[in-house]
Amino acid sequence: MRTVHSLKELRNILKAYRQQGKTIALVPTMGNLHDGHISLVRKASEAADVVVTSIFVNPMQFGANEDLDSYPRTLAEDQDKLAPAGNTLIFAPPVSEIYPEGLANQTKVVVPEVSEGHCGASRPGHFEGVATVVTMLFNMIQPDIAVFGEKDFQQLAVIRKMTRDLMMPIEIVGAPTVREDDGLAKSSRNGYLSDTERASAPVVYQTLTNAARQLEQGRTDFTAIEQEAQETLSKAGLRPDYFNIVNSLTLKPATVDDSEVTLLVAAFLGTTRLIDNISITR
C-alpha cells in the first residue's frame, strides 16, 4: 500500500493500473478512520481491483463555529488500519493541493432539492462543500466505483443525484451503517463524547427503532411520531436538531402513500452532533 500527497503522483500511479486493465474504486473519507470506514474499504475491494482511499479534511464543508480545527488528523493510525483491509493507495493531499487558489475563488457544485432540509438546513453550505470536493475527487481519480456509508443518508442522496445529473460514469455504492454493540452508529465524532454522554448516546438509535416499529405496525400520523421522538431525545438530555420521516428517494416529507420511508435524526449530545437513520418498507 502506498500513500501519495500530490495529484501528479496519484495520476501517474492510476494511469499504470488502467493500462493493466484494472478497475478502480474510491472511498472518500476525512480520516480518523473507524470500523465503519474500514467496512467501506472492504466492500470496495470486493468490487474492484484497485482501492483508493482519500483522506482529506475538507474545509469547504465545515461552517463557521464547526470543528474544522479540532477534527482529528490521524494519518499514521489510518495507514495501519487500511493496510490489512484491502486498500491499495491512500491519497492524502494538503489543502493547497485541492484548493490552490483558496476557497473564495473555487468553482462550486450545487445539488438542488436533496441538499435542502435536514442537515442541509442546519449546516448551510455543507453539501455544496461535499459535492464540490467529491466532484474533484471523481475527476482526479476517475474511479469506476465509489463507496459511501448509508449513515450519512442525505449525503449519499446528494452524491447519487450529482453523479446522475452530471452524467458521470461512476457506480455509486451505499454500504450499511456499522454500529457499536449498543446500537450507536460508529462515527469519528463519537470520540468527542464524555463517558457520561457516551452512556446516553444509544437513545438516538433506540428512538429511531421505536418510531420505525410504529410505522411498520401501520401508524400514519407522521408529525406526531416526529414530535414524540424529539421529546424522547430531549428527556434523555439531548438537544434535537431534527427528527424527520421522509420519502427514501426524494427526502421530502413522507405521505401515507409512500412505501419506502426513511427516518432521519440529528441531535446534539453536549457539543457533539450525532446523526443516524433507518429505512423501512411499509
For the annotated catalytic residues, the residue numbers are 37
Please name which of 32, 69, 22, 68 lies closest in space to residue 53, comparing C-alpha atoms. Answer: 32
Cα radius of gyration rounded to whole Å, the chain: 19
Do 89 and 13 touch, CB atoms closer than 8 A? yes
Please name which of 35, 33, 28 lies closest in space to residue 130, comparing C-alpha atoms. Answer: 28
C-alpha dist (Å) from residue 244 to 184, 222, 225: 18, 9, 9
